[in-house]
Amino acid sequence: MHTHRTDQDVTVLNDMSEIPGLGFLPVNAFVVHAEQPVVIDTGLSTDDKDFVTWLGEVIDPADVRWIWLTHPDRDHTGGLFDLLAAAPRARVVTTFIGAGILSTERPLPMDRIHLLNPGQRLDVGDRELSGLRPPLFDNPATVGVVDHRTGALFSSDCFGAPLPTGELALAGDVREVAPDDLRGGQLLWAGVDSPWVHTVDPAKYRATVDPIRAIDPSTIFSTHLPPARGLNESLLAMLHEAPDSPPFVGPDQAALEAMLAQFEPEQPLGV
């Protein structure tokens, strides 16, 4: 796990997950160093992760005032309840649907929820943050974040890409990724994470890209991509291509058995 402090009041808490056959997927959470500090997402949910201790290298968890959950998938909620315990003044920004999904496993305390829909704003002292539904998403509760002071966009899963190496997944700037690897990985991820993009009306889908173009983000911070600055047009062009890209078809049982066979130990002699 790594941390990257940017010049836009943002620290990237950068982790990754290897996906066999696809590559290395960045898994980022973020700290917006506002007057009322905001943590956006809380990392992976595997047992080896200690999000609060990791966050403590960047900010005192007790100072966190807002936990913006872009959606309640397990790669976004790993440290959520530990952080709520460590940050007694913090409230979770989510949607009605997001709170409902979380309640199927472990309900949020109702007095610590702040419901916010796309288009609504949150005052965090020295700036306002607003909710935005990104063009690509895999969960109906998804709400990205626009920072109206810096112009940064936190796009949740949108713009993500599995990358060729773990080092690239942990990079501080997406420009370290070769352009062809970036475009190919993003189109692959669009099909993996948002398979509906191949079945919707392309014109209606592409119209959802226009709000991002209008914002013209200073930096795009995706959960599943290194920070992207100065690449808006190429990233938006990728979104336009997504409906026409090849749909993702995952490995079947025969492929799984072939993969497992590569790791089966050799039987000892005489057996």
Q: Which domains does the chain have, with CATH numbers?
A: 2-261 (3.60.15.10)
Band (pLDDT 50/70/90 cuts) for residue 4 is: confident
- Residues 234-245: pLDDT tens digits? 999 999 999 999
Q: What is the pLDDT of residue 7?
A: 84
Q: What is the pLDDT of residue 264?
A: 65
Higher pLDDT pick, 153 / 107:
153
Band (pLDDT 50/70/90 cuts) for residue 270 is: low
Q: What is the overall mean pLDDT for the chain?
A: 94
Average pLDDT over residues 254-265: 83
pTM of the model: 0.93
- What percent of the chain is modeled with pLDDT above 90? 87
Is the pLDDT score of 73 beyond 80? yes
Band (pLDDT 50/70/90 cuts) for residue 127 is: very high
Q: Is the distance from CB of 55 to CB of 63 less than 8 angstroms?
A: no
Is the pLDDT score of 218 beyond 90? yes
Q: Is the distance from CB of 29 to CB of 42 less than 8 angstroms?
A: yes
Strand partners, 146: 130, 153
Band (pLDDT 50/70/90 cuts) for residue 266 is: low
Structure tokens at 191: 């099909």
99 phi-psi bin (left φ>0, alpha ψ -120 to 50, beta other)? alpha
Is the pLDDT score of 214 beyond 60? yes
Average pLDDT over residues 27-53: 95
Which of 149, 134, 140 is CA-nearest to residue 222? 134
Rg (CA), the chain: 19
Contacts of 202 by beta carbon, 8 Å cutoff, 6+ apart: 243, 244
Q: Is the distance from CB of 162 to CB of 185 less than 8 angstroms?
A: yes
How buried is residue 201: exposed, middle or buried, by Cβ count under 10 Å (0-12/13-18/19+)? exposed
Structure tokens at 166: 């773990």
Q: Is the distance from CB of 142 to CB of 154 less than 8 angstroms?
A: no
Band (pLDDT 50/70/90 cuts) for residue 265 is: low
Cα–Cα dist 264/269, whole Å:
15
- Residues 137-184: pLDDT tens digits? 999 999 999 999 999 999 999 999 999 999 999 999 999 999 999 999
